[in-house]
Amino acid sequence: MAPILKLVAQRVALSLLLLLMVSVLIFAGTMILPGDVAQSILGQSATPEALANLRADLGLNDPPVTRYFQWLWGALHGDLGTALTSGQDITTAIGSRLSNTMFLAFWAAAISVPLAIFLGLLAVRYQNRWPDKLISAFTLTSISIPEFLIGYVLMYLLAVKLRWFPSVAMINDSMSLGQKLNSIALPVTVLTLVVLAQMMRMTRAAILNVMQSAYIETAELKGLTMFKIIWRHAFPNSISPIVNVVMLNLAYLVVGVVVIEVVFVYPGMGQYLVDHVSKRDVPVVQACGLIFAAVYIGLNMVADIVSILANPRLRHPK
Amino acid sequence: MSEPLLKVRDLKIGATVYAPGEPPKDIEIVHGVSFDLERGKVLGLIGESGAGKSTIGLSSMAYGRGGVEITGGEVWINGRDILKSKLSDIRRLRGGEVTYVSQSAAASFNPAKTIMEQVIEAAVEQGKFSRREAETRARALFDKLGLPDPENIGARYPHQVSGGQLQRCMTALALCPEPDLVVFDEPTTALDVTTQIDVLMAIKEAIRDTGVAALYITHDLAVVAQVSDDIMVLRNGDKVEYGSVDQIINDPQEDYTKALVSVRSINHEEKAPTEEAVLSVRNVTARYKGTKFDVLHNVNVDLYPGQTLAVVGESGSGKSTLARVITGLLPPSEGEIFFAGRTLTEDFKTRSREDLRELQMIFQMADVAMNPRQTVGTIIGRPLEFYFGLRGAEKRKRIIELLDEIELGESFIDRFPAELSGGQKQRVCIARALAAKPKVIICDEVTSALDPLVADGILKLLLNLQKIEDVAYLFITHDLATVKAISDNIAVMYKGKVQRYGSKTQVLTPPFDDYTDLLLSSVPEMRLGWLEEVIANRKMESAGN
């Protein structure tokens, strides 16, 4: 088992290094944005003395390197600083937003990933026949239509006309799980439609690639049904490319849902970020950037590790 | 007489071919073949590639590989015509009544599952045995087939056992559901001779002990003679001859069968080493980058002008590595190579154009050694331009001379590689090597991918060209029949060392060292009872020790 542990450890170490480099980029990027934080807090009419005092208070006179390490040290201890505009503690503010985003992403993933893989298997089973074509046509259509349009259309049909679900996805801690799920039903549906196509297409392509192998013929000559062949013999050998695409889509579900959050007025990270970008609230933007980067890198690391673990040659060395 | 287990009547099989630049068309690849197979008997199907032998074998499972389709005839198994059966009945047949052993067990096992899971899958799936019963059966089969540690080998993954062991596991897989018929499709072709003999014996004993009937498909008549009761010779989808093993081997009626039986009858008188060697390998030791062990240990061989040195050994013996060192693709860690009186530099990049020209190479896979988008004329013309600066009419004249030498002729000049047969492609590669007017040609398994009769033609051509062009061959092969046919000197390689070296007569005359003895005695001979004799001899020897 030693070589495989080494490979996994390498992946984790590389991911941490990557995250560190991204944190430098995020910090440097927000530094070179035009505008002065003290100025934007105090407004145009501030006196030079007041500005100088505030700069000293905020540590803006320290060299950038010092400020980077102070920020990083804080972030590592869960202290993401204070929002300039509201004076709120960012960690607290992001905490509830992030858990809302995760809640939405979790349910969208819980539905879309199994569904996409199942549709992929189905498409392989009926390759080039009508079920395959129907699945491809449906998923490609749903990915091609802009998500806000799907959102509004569903809202009109399911919320306004049929009144099955609320049109605004507001959730709070006092709601039961059932109420919350009812509330996010529409955004979850839209997100599922958006991420389905890519995962389904990759499942189909990866399995079809394996279906040419000699061991598939062996399975066929054992008299197995097509679906058992695909599920038992083809799928285990195509996990690696599928997991990679699944993880990219999961990352999208966490960091890319700004439009959906706006459409359904959902209190998630995306809206929070957009609000504070427009207010030039640099510490909040940095914190959100760092969290999004961590999610992306973390999920891709998981994909890499699953790929390593899925390889029997690495799992069971000679 | 009772009804035979398998009764094939007027079987016709078709396929769709997609020739480059032409619309797809349907062709018939098996033209009405009929035969019977009794319970517990073994029928050998023999023929060259394209004879339709695998296709006929798979039709007993109502299966067509790729675009192949059974277009007519009847295939009766246990009293019913499976070509008229429903798909669900055919599924019960496959893996239950009829099972299959493929040529490459390494590719036919799923890399993601343990051997045991795959061996018992069909038996359990078809409801023949419970999981526990099937596992017990599998362990007994592992034991019978001579696999090491039969109790636990099933828990391993396919990549954790050797090629020969995996081929036995595949046989266990086929026998586990207690089938009536097993189709063996070239089960030992991909193995080394010394491994082949053990697997062959294991298969033969397993067939005898379980009383299963078998279709044994191979291109090697000497192999099929050891395991079959009857033999059917096929050519281009037609039955050529069908009879008992004894009759086919000892009294063949058809010319084609006679040619198969007497293949490799080239008589080549060895030449004595007279002059200075043209190529000398001195104390060469080599290893691949990043590895810790030597693939060549202190190798010394000489090749004389106009002669052939055969380097023979099994996979992993280092024979191809030796070619890589001589051509400068792998610089040796120690030792030197002398060529035509001068020392060759280690890396081909630093060699002069003359050095490169005088040392040419021909490869095993003629297919991939040619650019598929160039015509035969361009392929052969390239070295003429590069080394001799020939252009236009002069170049064309020389290309035609070379095409005549390889017995293809001018009409081939504008053809593309895809339009040639395997043997013709190898001939073009030979012409390309000859075009440089080399002193030495390294031939790396050049006949291994070819059918026996075609390979025979290539060997004859090479010997003929040697007389005309006075070129020396370093001939790398695993096939001892080829070695006997063309060599003047022989080097037997084993685990990176030269085990035995000398003139053909010296090397092939006893007393032998253990390895050479094992290698020579493992080459299947075209006579009945050979396999039992060899195994009995080996048992006696090991008992005597």
The per-residue pLDDT for A2 is 67
Tell me the CA distances in angstroms from A201 to A135, A141, B98, B119, one per residue in order: 10, 13, 36, 32
Mean pLDDT of B519-533: 84
Q: Which 200-229 residues of chain A touch chain B by CB within 8 A?
A: 213-215, 217-225, 228
C-alpha B519/C-alpha A235 separation (Å) is 42
Domain boundaries, chain A: 90-296
Whether B125 and A316 lie within 8 Å, measured CB to CB:
no
The per-residue pLDDT for A310 is 86
Distance from CA of A266 to the nearest CA of B (A): 43
Which member of A221, A232, A233 has the closest CB to residue B61?
A: A221
Q: Is B397 exposed, middle or buried (0-12, 13-18, 19+ CB in 10 A)?
A: exposed
The per-residue pLDDT for B203 is 86
Q: How confident is the model at residue B19 (pLDDT cuts 50, 70, 90)?
A: low
Tens-place pLDDT, residues B46-72: 988 778 888 899 999 988 887 788 888
The complex's ipTM works out to: 0.77
Q: Is B293 exposed, middle or buried (0-12, 13-18, 19+ CB in 10 A)?
A: exposed
The per-residue pLDDT for B515 is 87
Tens-place pLDDT, residues B82-136: 888 888 889 989 988 999 998 888 889 999 999 999 999 999 998 889 999 999 9
Q: Which of B255, B289, B100 is nearest to A223 (CA)?
A: B100
CB-CB neighbors (< 8 A) of B165 in chain A: none
CB-CB neighbors (< 8 A) of B178 in chain A: none
Range in A210-224, A234-248, B258-272, B510-524 with the lowest mean pLDDT: B258-272
Under 8 Å between Cβ of B226 and B530: yes
For chain B, list the domains and their CATH numbers.
6-261 (3.40.50.300), 279-509 (3.40.50.300)
Alpha-carbon Rg of chain A, whole angstroms? Answer: 24
The per-residue pLDDT for B201 is 87
DSSP B471: -
CB-CB neighbors (< 8 A) of B60 in chain A: none
Tell me the CA distances in angstroms from A33 to A281, A292, B250, one per residue in order: 11, 19, 92
Count the Cβ atoms, other than its own, within 10 Å of residue B166: 23
Whether B156 and A221 lie within 8 Å, measured CB to CB:
no
Whether B104 and A316 lie within 8 Å, measured CB to CB:
no
Whether B159 and A318 lie within 8 Å, measured CB to CB:
yes
Under 8 Å between Cβ of B523 and B481: yes
Which member of A213, A224, A316 has the closest CB to residue B125?
A: A224
Tens-place pLDDT, residues A86-138: 778 888 888 888 888 888 899 999 999 999 999 999 999 898 899 999 999 99
- Long-range contacts for A174-177 (Cβ within 8 Å, ≥24 apart)? none
Under 8 Å between Cβ of A264 and A108: no
A313 lies within 8 A of chain B by CB: yes
The per-residue pLDDT for B543 is 64
pLDDT at B385 over 90: yes
The pair of three-digit structure tokens given for residue B110, joined into one six-digit string: 């799923």
Q: Which of helix, strand or coil describes residue B359?
A: strand
Under 8 Å between Cβ of B361 and B442: yes
Q: Which of helix, strand or coil describes residue B455?
A: helix
Q: How many CA atoms lie within 13 A of B486 on its CB side?
A: 32
**Mean pLDDT estimate for chain B:** 87
DSSP A82: B
Task: Name every residue whose Cβ is closer than 8 Å to that of residue B183 and which is 6 or more positions away in sequence.
Answer: B57, B58, B60, B61, B98, B99, B100, B101, B214, B215, B217
Most B CBs within 10 A among A210, A212, A218, A220, hence the mutation to make, goes to A218
Tens-place pLDDT, residues B142-184: 988 888 889 999 999 998 888 888 988 999 999 999 999 999 9
Q: Where are the beta strands (DSSP E) in B440-496?
A: 440-444, 472-477, 489-494
Q: How confident is the model at residue B535 (pLDDT cuts 50, 70, 90)?
A: confident
Q: Which helix (H) or strand (E) holds B33?
A: strand B25-37
Q: State the amino acid at position A315 in one-letter form.
A: R
pLDDT at A1 over 60: no
Of the two residues A217 and A175, the one the predictor is more confident about is: A217
The pair of three-digit structure tokens given for residue B117, joined into one six-digit string: 């899971």
Q: Which of B150, B72, B155, B83 is nearest to B117 (CA)?
A: B155
Of the two residues B449 and B430, the one the predictor is more confident about is: B430
Q: Which of A150, A161, A157 is nearest to A190 (CA)?
A: A150
Chain A nearest-CA residue for B123: A222
Q: How confident is the model at residue B544 (pLDDT cuts 50, 70, 90)?
A: low
Under 8 Å between Cβ of B177 and B143: no
Q: Which of A106, A102, A10, A37 is nearest to A284 (CA)?
A: A37
Distance from CA of A299 to the nearest CA of B (A): 24
The per-residue pLDDT for A72 is 85
Chain B nearest-CA residue for A225: B91
Whether A214 and B159 lie within 8 Å, measured CB to CB:
no
Tens-place pLDDT, residues B228-249: 999 999 988 889 999 998 898 8
C-alpha B452/C-alpha B238 separation (Å) is 18
Count the Cβ atoms, other than its own, within 10 Å of residue B136: 13
Q: Tokens 């036995």 identify what position? A: B168
C-alpha B75/C-alpha B6 separation (Å) is 7
Quickly count helices (H) and strands (E) in chain B.
20, 20
Tens-place pLDDT, residues A127-146: 889 999 999 999 888 888 88
Task: Name every residue whose Cβ is closer than 8 Å to that of residue A169 and which is 6 or more positions away in sequence.
Answer: A183, A184, A186, A187, A264, A265, A266
Q: Tokens 């069971």 identify what position? A: A316
Strand B472-477 and strand B440-444: the pairing is: parallel
C-alpha A314/C-alpha A307 separation (Å) is 10
CB-CB neighbors (< 8 A) of A232 in chain B: 113
Count the Cβ atoms, other than its own, within 10 Å of residue B368: 10
C-alpha A187/C-alpha A154 separation (Å) is 9
DSSP B272: P
Chain B nearest-CA residue for A318: B160
C-alpha A255/C-alpha A270 separation (Å) is 7
- With a pLDDT cut of 90, the percent of chain B lying above it is 36
C-alpha A85/C-alpha A99 separation (Å) is 22
Range in A6-15, A164-173, B431-440 with the lowest mean pLDDT: A164-173
Tens-place pLDDT, residues A137-175: 998 888 888 888 888 888 888 888 888 888 777 777 777
Torsion angle of the four alpha carbons A142, A145, A147, A150, in this order, in degrees rounded to the nearest 10: -80
Q: Tokens 């039986």 identify what position? A: B261
Q: Tokens 């007519």 identify what position? A: B72
Under 8 Å between Cβ of B166 and B109: yes
- Long-range contacts for A85-90 (Cβ within 8 Å, ≥24 apart)? A85/A41, A85/A276, A85/A279, A85/A281, A90/A283, A90/A284, A90/A287
The pair of three-digit structure tokens given for residue A47, joined into one six-digit string: 């006196």
Q: How many CA atoms lie within 13 A of B291 on its CB side?
A: 9
Whether A312 and B126 lie within 8 Å, measured CB to CB:
no
The per-residue pLDDT for A34 is 67
Whether A237 and B112 lie within 8 Å, measured CB to CB:
yes
C-alpha B253/C-alpha B264 separation (Å) is 19
Distance from CA of B123 to the nearest CA of A (A): 9
Count the Cβ atoms, other than its own, within 10 Å of residue B429: 25
Task: Name every residue whose Cβ is closer than 8 Å to that of residue B294 and which is 6 or more positions away in sequence.
Answer: B285, B286, B287, B333, B496
Q: Tokens 């207010």 identify what position? A: A279
The pair of three-digit structure tokens given for residue B65, joined into one six-digit string: 């590989």
C-alpha B434/C-alpha B408 separation (Å) is 14
Whether A225 and B104 lie within 8 Å, measured CB to CB:
no
CB-CB neighbors (< 8 A) of B63 in chain A: 220-221
Q: How many CA atoms lie within 13 A of B249 on its CB side?
A: 22
The per-residue pLDDT for B473 is 94
Of the two residues A37 and B511, the one the predictor is more confident about is: B511
Whether B91 and A223 lie within 8 Å, measured CB to CB:
yes
- With a pLDDT cut of 70, the percent of chain B lying above it is 97
Which member of A221, A236, A316 has the closest CB to residue B63?
A: A221
Of the two residues A271 and B242, the one the predictor is more confident about is: B242
Alpha-carbon Rg of chain B, whole angstroms? Answer: 25
Q: Which of B113, B112, B122, B195 is nearest to B154 (CA)?
A: B113
Q: Tokens 């030079």 identify what position? A: A48
Task: Determine the topology of domain A90-296 in CATH.
Answer: MetI-like fold (1.10.3720)
C-alpha A169/C-alpha A111 separation (Å) is 18
Distance from CA of B531 to the nearest CA of A (A): 29
Q: State the amino acid at position B309 in one-letter form.
A: L
